[in-house]
Amino acid sequence: MTQVQALQSALAGEHAALYGVGVAGGKLSGAKFQAASELDERHRRQRDKLTDLLIAAGETPAAAEPAYDLPLAVTTPATATALILLIERRLAAVYADLVENAEQDAVRALAIQNLLAASATQISWGGAPVAFPGAV
Amino acid sequence: MPNDPQLLPRRTAVVARRTTLRAAALAAGTAILLAGCSDDPGEPGAGGGTQSGGTKGPDGKKQPEPSTDPAVVAALSTAAGQVAQAAQRLSAASKAYPALAAQLAIAAKYHAQHLAKLNEASGADPAAVDKLPPLPTGAAAALADLASREQKLSVAHATSAAKLSGPHARLLAMVAASETQLAASLTVKKKQAAR
């Protein structure tokens, strides 16, 4: 995998995460809705940063799909939370890939920052720590 | 926020399935996140991950080859020494405050796994552990101290990871991510203990 491929995968992951967090947010209220909104904003910033990096590299950034299949039915606050946890666990793996395949210091630093953010988010959404977040 | 897919027209749902299949072929990140892959980390294809380099470790996951680059060996050995010290501190805290033992066990277990992988990747002898600074007095203070040290370790290892590349950078970054999780987890428990 090249750095560009890993960046495109991360961008595709952020597009999907934005969709999934949006769906989850629709089933949440109060503090959890607020947290989902903040998470949505963070993924939006990460998407924009990845887009900028790809454009700077002369590449065409992957576009978002109109809709995505969800890996679980989101019908309650509990399933909404489960979807967010799943998204953050899988995003951690995508960013660990980017760490491994980064060829530029700035890209590696961004990937590490986002891997740590996805890992911390898992705990704030009730997930348990793991030995190697982002491992495959 | 997008519409709930349950509310999408049927035609849109069909398009979504087609789209996901196309996305799976074009963009691994999309497929990994929302195409319904198994979340079982033991199942092939779960999660992301590159397919090149490294060997299979005892847990079936890819391991970086032991490095011969002195800078890489130094970074990994330093991290191993820091993790070993953290593990000893957790052990000391568990003995001094048995009420904390159960909640510290997971951190001790993960640091043992971090240490094994770091030693394996560095190819160097396990680092000697310096004398431990004394534990704070009281279980709550000890827990706060451990959480703070986990966060500092995470920052140090993330910084080191940024100076490496390839599988070694990934290993150190994942250790840093785990330490961030442990710090947050211990902080949550500290708050619960204070209630």
CA–CA distance, A27 with B3 (Å, rounded to integer): 11
> Pick from A10, A123, A136: which is nearest to B29 by CB?
A10
Minimum-distance CB partner of B184 among A89, A112, A120: A120
| Residues of chain B numbered 105-164 and touching chain A (CB < 8 Å) | 106-107, 109-110, 113-114, 117, 154, 158, 161-162
What CA–CA distance (Å, rounded) separates A71 from B61? 24
Q: Which residue of B has its CA nearest to A105?
A: B162
Check B161 against A99: CB less than 8 A apart.
yes
Cα–Cα distance measured from residue B34 to residue A16, given in angstroms and rounded to the nearest whole number = 7
B88-147, pLDDT tens digit by residue?
A: 999 999 999 999 999 999 999 999 999 999 999 998 877 777 788 889 999 999 999 999
Of A8, A73, A136, the CB nearest to B48: A136
Percent of chain B past pLDDT 70, that is, above it, reads 64
* Chain B residues inside the 8 Å CB shell of A85: none
Read off the DSSP letter of residue B69.
-
With 90 as the cut, is the pLDDT of residue B50 above it?
A: no
A87 to chain B, any CB pair closer than 8 A? The answer is: yes
* Dist. CA A132–CA B182, nearest whole Å: 11
Distance CA B153, CA B119 (A): 17
Q: Is the per-residue pLDDT at A135 higher than 90?
A: yes
Q: Out of A67, A99, A128, name the one closest to residue B16 (CB).
A: A67
d(CA B23, nearest CA chain A) in Å = 8
B132 compared with A64, residue with greater pLDDT: A64
Q: In this complex, is the C-beta atom of A50 within 8 Å of any C-beta atom belonging to chain B?
A: no
Q: How high is the ipTM of this complex?
A: 0.96
Question: Would you say B115 and B80 are in contact if contact means Cβ atoms under 8 Å apart?
Answer: yes
Residue B163, number of CB atoms within 10 A of its CB? 14
- Condensed to tens digits (0 to 9), the pLDDT of residues A70-114 reads 999 999 999 999 999 999 999 999 999 999 999 999 999 999 999
8 A C-beta contact, residue A17 and residue A44: no
**Chosen CATH of A3-124 out of 3.40.50.300, 1.20.1260.10, 2.40.128.720, 1.20.1250.20:** 1.20.1260.10
pLDDT digits (tens, 9 = 90+) for A11-21: 999 999 999 99
Q: Taking the domains of chain A in order of start, what are their residue ranges? A: 3-124
CB proximity under 8 Å: B 43-82 to A: 46-52, 61-62
Tokens, residue A59: 């590449």
Chain B residues within an 8 Å CB radius of A16: 23, 29-30, 33-34
